[in-house]
Structure 1
Amino acid sequence: MRRRALIMVEGGAWGCSQLYVQAAQRLGLHPIILSAGATCDGYLVKDAEAIRVDTSDLDSLIRECSRIRATYDIAGIVGEAVVYVKVGELCRHFDLPGPNPAAVARCEDKFAQRQLLTEAGVPMPAYLLATSANRVKRYAAEIGLPVVLKPTVSGGSIGVRLCRDFDEVAAHTAYLWSGKHTWRSTPSILVEGFAQGPYYTVDIMGHEVIGIGAGEFGPPPHFVYRQFTYPALLTDEEYDRLIDVSLSCLRALDLGWGPTNIEFRWTTGGPVVIEVNPRMGGTPDPQLVQLAYGVDLVTEHIKLVIGDEWDLHRRHSHTAAARFLVADRDGVLAWIGGDSQAAAVSGVAEVKFYVQSKTPIVRKGDFRDTIGHVIAASPSRAQTEATLQRAADLIDWSITPFPNLSE
C-alpha cells in the first residue's frame, strides 16, 4: 500500500506549519510542503519534504501534485492564507474535501465581504471604497474621524492605520500609493469608521463555535497585537450575541466548511464585525484554543481534509494567554535571551522567538513588529496572568541603532 501524503501549500495557518507537520505525522501521513520560498510562513519547518514551486500559479500546483501522485496517495491539501483560494481550487481539481474557492475569494476582498455582510444585516462599521486620494479624504469626512484606512486585500494589519485627523489621512494615503506598499490586488483603499471597544476573536470549525478570545493591541495608530486570552470574559448575553452574529456571517458569506476566524469590536451599540477570515487564525490561536478547551484545531482540520470524522468535544476549561514580544525601536537585534528561564516557569507552555541575533529590525506597524511570544495556561485566570507576567519579565533584548552611513 502506498503511503498517504498531506500537501501543505505554503504551510498551514500562519506560524503553525510545524504544528501541521507534527499532527500529520501523528495521523500516519507524510507531510509535503509546496512553497515558493525557502521557508513556510516565515519559519524553517522540520521533518517535512519540501518542494519549491510557484504557489501563485494553479497550473504549476496541479502539475506538481500530479507528479507527487506517482509516488504517494494525496490524502488531503491544506494551505496558508495568501494561497487559500488556490488551495480550494486544487482540492476541487483532485476531488478532495476543501474550502469553497469562490467564497474564500469574496472574503479576501474586504469591500466585497462588507457588501455581502451589509445585505445580510450584519452589524459593521461605516465603510466606503476609495480609488483616489481625493476620494479617501472626502469619504473620511463623510464617515467622520477617526477612520481606519486599509487596502482592500491584505492581512496581518499590513497597510492598516488609524487616522485621527486629515493630516494623518493624507499621509497614510500617500504612503499606500507611493510604491512602498505592495498591493495584492488593484490598488484601492477601504475607509472605515473606527469601531471603539474591546476586541474579540471567534474560532469556528464548520458551524460550531469552539472558543472566543480577547485581544489587546499596542498604542495607536497601528494595530499590533500585544496579548490574547482565552476564554474572553463575557456575560452569557454577550457570548450568545457573538455566536449569533458569527453564524450570520457564515450564512452571508457561504462559509461553514472547515475553520473560520471572525474578528469583532464590542462598541456602545454592541458587537460589530471587523473581518471574517475564511481560515484558521494564525499562531498562537490554535495553541491557545487547545490549552483552554482541549480541542486540537490543527489535528481536527487535517481530519476534515482527509475525510476522517473530527472530534470537537471540549475536554476542559482553563485560561490560556499569549504575550507578544514587540520590537521597541528600529536597528539591529544585538541579542535576545531569557527564553530558557522563562520556559522553566511553571505553567508556561511555550516561549518562541521569531528572530535571531544580528537580525535587522525595521518596524512596519503590523504583525511583523512582533519578535516572539510567551504562552501560559492554568485553571485560574489570575494564575495564568501572573505566570505570563513572570515569564515575560525574564526575557530581554537589545536593539542597537543602524550605523549612520552619512558620517
Structure 2
Amino acid sequence: MPRRALILIEGASNGPGYVRAAEHLDLHPIVLSADPSQYEYLSAEGIEAIQVDTDNLEALIRECFRIGAIWDIAGITTSYEAFCAIVGKLCLRFGLPGPNPVSIEQCCDKFTQRQRLANAGVPIPAYRLAANATDVESSAAEIGLPVVLKPATGSGSVGVRLCRNSDELAEHTTYLLSGEHIWRSSPRVLVEEFAQGPYYCAYTMENEVIGISAADSGPPPHFVFRECTLPAPLTDDEHERIVEVSLQSLRALGLGWGPTGIELRWTKRGPVIIEVNPRLAAAPDPQLIELACGVDLITEHIKLTIGHACDLRRKHSHAAAERFLIADRDGTLAWIDGDRRAAAVQGVAAVKFHVKPEAPIVMKGDYRDCMGYVVASSPSRAQTQAILERAADLITWSIKPFSILDDQGQSAAPRIRTKQTLSDGSD
C-alpha cells in the first residue's frame, strides 16, 4: 500500500481522472470537500474523502496537519478553478510545489486579468468595469453594441451573455444585479467588446503550448460549446501567432507553473485573448489532448505537484473531437439512450451522460446545459468527424414539459430528440 498521499481539494469534472492518475503513480488520493456526497465516484470507487470547509484556509491547514500525521503528503492540488489560489497557499504553507497564489487570484479576477494583459500589450477586447446599471449603460455606449456582459469572477460561462441591443443589455444587467445571479462578493460586471471570429483554446503546461483546439458554440446570446476539435485547422502562421500570444499572456499574468487554458478568437486584428484560465480545462478536454498527441496532462500535472519533472513529448499526431449533448428545452428528462450503441462505434473513445431519467432540466445558457458528451479520434480530421457524427446520431432523449397537461388532463407528449429533428412526440 502506498504511504504517500496526494490531497485533492474538491472533485469537479476532472476529479476521477486525478484519482486514477494518482493511484497509477502509487499515491493515495484523499479528497477534501465541503460535501463529498456530491461526487458519486468517491463512494463508487472507495476513495478516501474528508468533509471540511474548503473555503476556509485555516480549516484546510488543520486537516492537512492531521493527514500529515498519518501519511507523507506528496502534494496538494485541485482540478477546480475556484480553489487554485487556496491550493497555492497550502503548498506554500507545507513547502510543496504549487502555483503562485497571488498570480492565480489576479488571474481569476477578470478585470485585473484584463488590466495586466493590456499593460503588457497583449491583444484583448475593449473592456470596462461596472458596479451598477448606470455604469453598464455608459460603458456599453463607450464600447458600442454588441457587448458581452459577464461577472468579474466565475467560470463555465455562468452569467455570460451577448447583448446585441439596449433591451438585451437592460435585461441582462437586471439579471446580474437584481439578486438572481449568485455573487460570492460585491457585484462587479465586466462590459466587453464582442470580439468576433473563430474560437480557439490553447492548452499549456508550464511554459509550453501542448495543443490548440477549435470550438463551435450554440446560437447567441449564450456561449455554450457544442463541439471541439484538436488540432485546430490552422495554417503554420496562424498556429505560430496563437502560440506567441498565449505565451505572452502567461508572462503578463505571472503564470507558467502547471496547466492553463487560454481562450482566444481570431479577429480582424488576429488572435485576441478572451480569457486565461489558470487550471486544466474541464473534462473531456484532457482526454482529447491525450488522444490527439499522447500527452496525459493530468498525470503530468500531478508529477509537477509532487516535485517531479513532467514529460510533454508528443507520442503521436491524431485528430480528436468531442460533441456535447446540449438540452434543447426545460422540463423533466424522461429518458436518454444510445450510449452503448454510440460507444460501440469504432473510433469512439468515450460516451458519458451527466444526467439520469427524472432529472429536472432547466436551461441556464452555460456549462450546466450539457447533459453529456461523445469523444472520438482517428488518424484524420475527416474520419474523426464522420465517427463523431455517427455516434452522436445514435443518442436520443426525451424531455417532458414541467407540469403541462393537455385538454384531457393528461401529461403533454414529451419532445424527443432524434437523429435529424426535434419532434413533439407525435410521429
> Smaller-chain TM-score range?
over 0.9
- 2:26 paired with 1:36: no
Change (3 A) 1:119 1:136: same
Change (3 A) 1:50 1:133: same
Contact 1:145–1:163, Cα closer than 8 Å, also in 2: yes
Contact 2:2–2:26, Cα closer than 8 Å, also in 1: no
Contact 2:334–2:397, Cα closer than 8 Å, also in 1: yes
Match of 1:239 in 2: 239
**SS of residue matched to 1:156:** coil
Superposed CA offset, 1:276-317 (max 9, x none)? 111111111100000000000000000010011211000000
**SS of residue matched to 2:351:** strand
> How far apart are the structure 1 equivalents of 2:37 and 2:218?
28
**SS of residue matched to 2:36:** coil
Match of 1:141 in 2: 141
Quick one: higher RCO (CA 8 Å, sep 6+), 1 or 2? 1
Match of 2:198 in 1: 198
Q: TM-score, normalised by structure 1?
A: 0.97
Superposed CA offset, 1:316-355 (max 9, x none)? 0000000000000001001111000000000000000011
Match of 1:390 in 2: 390
Match of 2:67 in 1: 68
Match of 2:56 in 1: 57
Match of 2:322 in 1: 322
**Residue 187 of structure 2 aligns to which amino acid in structure 1?**
P
**Residue 143 of structure 1 aligns to which amino acid in structure 2?**
I
- 2:95 paired with 1:95: yes
Contact 1:85–1:102, Cα closer than 8 Å, also in 2: yes
Pick the aligned partner of 2:23 from 5, 22, 25: 25
**SS of residue matched to 1:363:** coil
Contact 1:38–1:44, Cα closer than 8 Å, also in 2: no
Match of 2:335 in 1: 335
- Deviation of 1:39 after TM superposition, in Å, equals 4.6
> How far apart are the structure 1 equivalents of 2:37 and 2:191?
34
**Residue 17 of structure 1 aligns to which amino acid in structure 2?**
G
Match of 2:412 in 1: none
Superposed CA offset, 1:88-126 (max 9, x none)? 001110000000000000001000000000000000111
Match of 2:422 in 1: none
Structure 2 residue ranges without an equivalent (≥5): 410-427
**Residue 336 of structure 2 aligns to which amino acid in structure 1?**
I
Contact 2:331–2:362, Cα closer than 8 Å, also in 1: yes
> How far apart are the structure 2 equivalents of 1:399 and 1:2?
46
> How far apart are the structure 2 equivalents of 1:193 and 1:386?
36
**SS of residue matched to 1:204:** strand
**Residue 359 of structure 1 aligns to which amino acid in structure 2?**
A
Change (3 A) 1:145 1:49: same
Structure 1 residue ranges without an equivalent (≥5): none
Moved over 4 A (4+): none
**SS of residue matched to 1:345:** coil
RMSD: 1.3
- Deviation of 1:196 after TM superposition, in Å, equals 0.5
> How far apart are the structure 1 equivalents of 2:224 and 2:402?
23
Mapping of 1:206-217 within 5 angstroms? 206-217=206-217
- Deviation of 1:38 after TM superposition, in Å, equals 3.1
> How far apart are the structure 2 equivalents of 1:105 and 1:178?
26
- 2:267 paired with 1:270: no
Contact 1:199–1:265, Cα closer than 8 Å, also in 2: yes
> How far apart are the structure 1 equivalents of 2:375 and 2:88?
32
> How far apart are the structure 1 equivalents of 2:109 and 2:201?
20
Q: TM-score, normalised by structure 2?
A: 0.93
**Residue 210 of structure 1 aligns to which amino acid in structure 2?**
I
**SS of residue matched to 1:44:** helix
Contact 2:111–2:129, Cα closer than 8 Å, also in 1: yes
**SS of residue matched to 1:95:** coil
Mapping of 1:242-257 within 5 angstroms? 242-257=242-257
Mapping of 1:275-314 within 5 angstroms? 275-314=275-314
Superposed CA offset, 1:64-85 (max 9, x none)? 1111111111000111211111
> How far apart are the structure 2 equivalents of 1:132 and 1:308?
47
Contact 2:54–2:60, Cα closer than 8 Å, also in 1: yes
> How far apart are the structure 2 equivalents of 1:153 and 1:379?
39
Across the two proteins, how many residue pairs are aligned to each other? 403
**SS of residue matched to 2:41:** coil
Percentage of matched positions with identical amino acids: 62
Contact 1:2–1:73, Cα closer than 8 Å, also in 2: no
**Residue 87 of structure 2 aligns to which amino acid in structure 1?**
V
- Deviation of 1:404 after TM superposition, in Å, equals 4.8
